[in-house]
Amino acid sequence: MTEGNFVDYVKLHVTSGNGGKGSVHLHREKFITKGGPDGGDGGRGGHIILRASSNLWTLHHLKFKRHLKADHGMHGSSGRSSGSDGQDEYVDVPLGTVVRDSETQKIIHELTEEGQEIIIVEGGMGGRGNWHFKSSTNQTPRYAQPGIPGSETNITLELKVLADVGLVGFPNAGKSTLLSVITAAKPKIAAYEFTTLKPNLGIVQYRDFQTFVMADIPGIIEGAAEGKGIGHRFLRHIERNSTLLFLVPADADDIVEQYNILVDELKRYNPEMLDKQRFLAISKSDMLDDELKAEISVEIKESLDVPFLFISSVAQQGLVELKDALWKMLN
């Protein structure tokens, strides 16, 4: 998936169908001149329904479709024939989609399960035909109910990526390189900051054909929780990851300090982030000798209470052990 096709935020105007009118009709046929009322009911207007689908990873298919409208119900007819219901408009969205009211920003629904369906706006009810209104004192009612108009509203769809492991790190920490090596994903990789502008997902192949999903989130900078940089736009994608893999490069000035800054940014964005399982990977560690690794290990053990591992995506060092550790945490 190219970065331009990753759309995680869409605003939609949705309109349900009007209910059909009830029929005003009096039964007439040969030899029956005054058969009484037999006007049928109007059909229900179509709903707008959101449906969760595991076949979708992005909201790109809705990027240029900002207005959604369901069909109107058909009017009733003679012989107590009801009008057909308006066709419902189904909108497929990826798992992890959050639905908000665009005006109040209040969360209406969240779709997290395959096939889950939610009616966003209901179609108007059809009007009742005149045969419902006959009585002993009014045997030929010449009126029926009109259909109830449909509803319309503005909604905002936000995608929170559903991945097992979320990669957290500063720009240019080697997150995209790691994802490209242990999955089949092909993220853009370059030697400058903010190469990754949109989240990338990859499926990690584990032993016995087992898999788990890893998400590469654009780099977080200090102050991201207050809106600095671009990482803050994607912090919500980490909310649904069960495990967070912190990536700090071996050439960082202070590995412990960088880790603490990243944790602090997540805490300021959403304190519940700290409840997730965490793992620290020191990337680009092929540039370290055994003596330096020993020194860094001692420093991390004294300062942090987090499991850690030295890895190198380029030199293929520590990757099997990393997958083993993540699989153990996930299960």
CB of 258 closer than 8 Å to CB of 187: no
Domain parsing of the chain, residue ranges: 3-159, 165-330
- pLDDT greater than 80 at residue 33: no
Homologous superfamily of 3-159: GTP1/OBG domain (2.70.210.12)
Give the tens place of pLDDT for each residue, 189-221.
444 334 444 566 777 777 777 777 887 777 665
Instruction: State the greatest distance between any 2 C-alpha atoms of the chain, in Å, as a whole number.
Output: 109
| Averaged confidence pLDDT in the chain | 82
- pLDDT greater than 60 at residue 166: yes
Mean pLDDT value of segment 43-58: 90
Note whether 3-159 and 165-330 share their fold: no
What DSSP element (H or E) covers 303? helix 290-303
CATH topology of domain 165-330: Rossmann fold (3.40.50)
Give the tens place of pLDDT for each residue, 235-281.
666 777 788 889 888 888 888 898 998 888 888 878 887 888 899 98
Provide, for the chain, the percentages of residues in helix, strand and coil under a 3-state DSSP scheme, each rounded to the nearest 5.
Answer: 25, 25, 50
DSSP codes joined into one string, 228-274: -TTGGGGGGGGTT-SEEEEEEETT-S-HHHHHHHHHHHHHHH-GGGG
CB of 36 closer than 8 Å to CB of 80: no
pLDDT band at residue 154 using 50, 70 and 90 as cut-offs:
very high
Global pTM reads 0.65
Which SS3 state, helix, strand or coil, does residue 148 take?
coil
